[in-house]
Amino acid sequence: MTNVSPREQLARQLAEAVAEALRADLEHHDHALLVVSGGSTPVPFFTALAACRLPWERVQVTLADERWVGETADDSNARLVREHLLCGPAAAATFAPLTSDHPTPEQGTEVVAERIEALAWPASVVILGMGGDGHTASLFPDSRELDLALSTDATTVAVRTPSQPQPRITLSAERLHQARRHFLHITGGDKRAVLARALAGDDVRELPIRAFLACPLATYWAP
Ligand SMILES: O=C1O[C@H](COP(=O)(O)O)[C@@H](O)[C@H](O)[C@H]1O
């Protein structure tokens, strides 16, 4: 028997749970929307989900957030999704990226919002990640637009964050809340400690992940 690492095992368990949720919603709806996060953590999950049997042509996929970079950039979340999730039969899913040809996210946010609003809300599943600073999606503690992104009923928010090299676009907290199920996918002892801090307090601006703890949020963690 081959050795499966705890992170790989976690990714497979999460993929099974997400596939089950999508199948359940597709029994009652024409389409099911899946909102995924970027970063390094989701790669094995994307691979595991792409291997699941689903009517992929009825699945819509979008992102919780994105750097304002071209889709061929190394740190593009859209590129990550295309390379690791939209593979094989899963390539039949409809993917709605969060960027446009506009030079800045402030200029592109309206056209992206229209694209995202046309999807099958409420989402079947939102999968959040979390950084070591407690950010989720692109809701960073030092984002200038954090208060706006936490309070607006707009779908997308252009975000400038001193700690981050690129401008970004994020789904607003309100839009991310519009889902039947929320999952948090994190790995490592540092992130577990950040989550424990988040659970122990209530200042959302300090640790923005707190905005989703009551969704409820099913946490998938491995060392
Ligand atoms: O910047 C981002 O970071 C978080 C976490 O990323 P990870 O590399 O630590 O897994 C991610 O959830 C978010 O979508 C991404 O844009």
Q: Are 103 and 167 in contact (CB under 8 A)?
A: no
Confirm or reject: Cβ of 60 under 6 Å from ligand 1: no
Task: Name the residue with the closest Cα to ligand 1, atom 1.
Answer: 39
> What ipTM does this complex have?
0.95
Per-residue pLDDT of 115-124, as tens digits, reads: 999 999 999 9
Which of 74-77's residues contact partners 24+ apart within 8 Å by CB, and which partners? 75/166, 77/37, 77/38, 77/39
Positions in the chain whose pLDDT score sits under 70: 1
Q: What is residue 2's predicted lDDT score, i.e. its pLDDT? A: 74
Q: What is residue 1's predicted lDDT score, i.e. its pLDDT? A: 56
Distances (CA, A) of 117 to 68, 79, 102: 19, 21, 19
Per-residue pLDDT of 176-201, as tens digits, reads: 999 999 999 999 999 999 999 999 99
CA 38 to ligand 1 center in whole angstroms: 5
Nearest to residue 98, comparing CAs of 185, 37, 178? Answer: 37
CA 42 to ligand 1 center in whole angstroms: 9
The answer, yes or no, to whether the previous bond of 122 is cis (omega within 30 of 0) is yes
What atom of ligand 1 comes closest to residue 191's alpha carbon? 9
What atom of ligand 1 comes closest to residue 66's alpha carbon? 16
CA 91 to ligand 1 center in whole angstroms: 23
Indicate the average pLDDT of the chain.
97
